[in-house]
Amino acid sequence: MRRARVIFHGVRHDATGDGDRLRLDDGSRVAEDEVTWLPPVEPRTIFAVGLNYAKHAQEIKSATEQEPLVFLKGPNAVAGHRSSTSRPADVKFMHYECELAVVIGRTARRVPADAALKHVAGYTVANDYAIRDYLENYYRPNLRVKNRDGATLLGPWLVDASDVADPMNLELTTTVNGKVTQRGNTRDMILDVAHLIAHLSSILTLSPGDVMLTGTPEGVVNVDAGDEVVTEIAGIGRLVGYIVPDAAGAIA
């Protein structure tokens, strides 16, 4: 099942996909462009995994490691489908990152990899924007790189784990203004979803509502104010976002 969280006429609703429309929790059916989309989950803790695709690590000239690079994101970094993300006026290189986002559904502590997927509630699409200008190094992604308000889009849907036959064989695609700029497949992850859950749960307890961003493939390019960026994962969803300048009133 595809689940979403939206605002319709000022009221927050849980919604499900119903053909090309949304069915709200009050039974009404509305068009997708009649609502304001929220992230499909209200994240508890957000774990972001960096450099989890070998070719992307090569693309940014960083060595891959057996120990995954993981950092945390604050809840204010997250926005929903069709949201706008601001580009600070002083930057030269801001790029998208199309990622499979994993939502934890059951408490996980020291879970072995062969049991890890039982703890997944579902999957959604993430677009985790980064600003290279602000990056100190790839093992220290500071606040301005990865925790700016509204710089991580999630959505549109949370797809139940039971409806995803193999999370490690999903095509990822990014388009900028309709032009394909990034292609990849989750099978190319260095550490797959199960091993990432096993690793994180060996360090701390994962709780329902935690979200894990699993990294992006090669193919990131600069985006500018006015661009439409679409990150899509086959079977999971098509997430649309817009880049706006700071002067447009968005939060940087």
pLDDT in tens, 222-243: 999 999 999 999 999 999 999 9
Radius of gyration of the chain (CA): 17
Amino acid symbol at 141: P
Q: Which domains does the chain have, with CATH numbers?
A: 1-37 (2.30.30.370), 39-248 (3.90.850.10)
d(CA 61, CA 52): 13
d(CA 6, CA 4): 6
* Nearest residue to 190 via CA among 95, 33, 53: 53
Q: What is the pLDDT of residue 118?
A: 98
**pLDDT value for 65:** 53
- How remote is the C-alpha of 16 from its chain's centroid? 19
| Residue-by-residue DSSP string for 106-159 | S-BSS--HHHHGGGEEEEEEEEE-EEGGG-SBTTB--HHHH--TT-EEEEEEEE
Residue spans of the chain under pLDDT 50 = 63-64, 248-252
Closest of 219, 244, 216 to residue 98, by C-alpha = 216
47 contacts 4 by C-beta, under 8 angstroms: no
Distance CA 120, CA 54 (A): 25
pLDDT at 252: 39
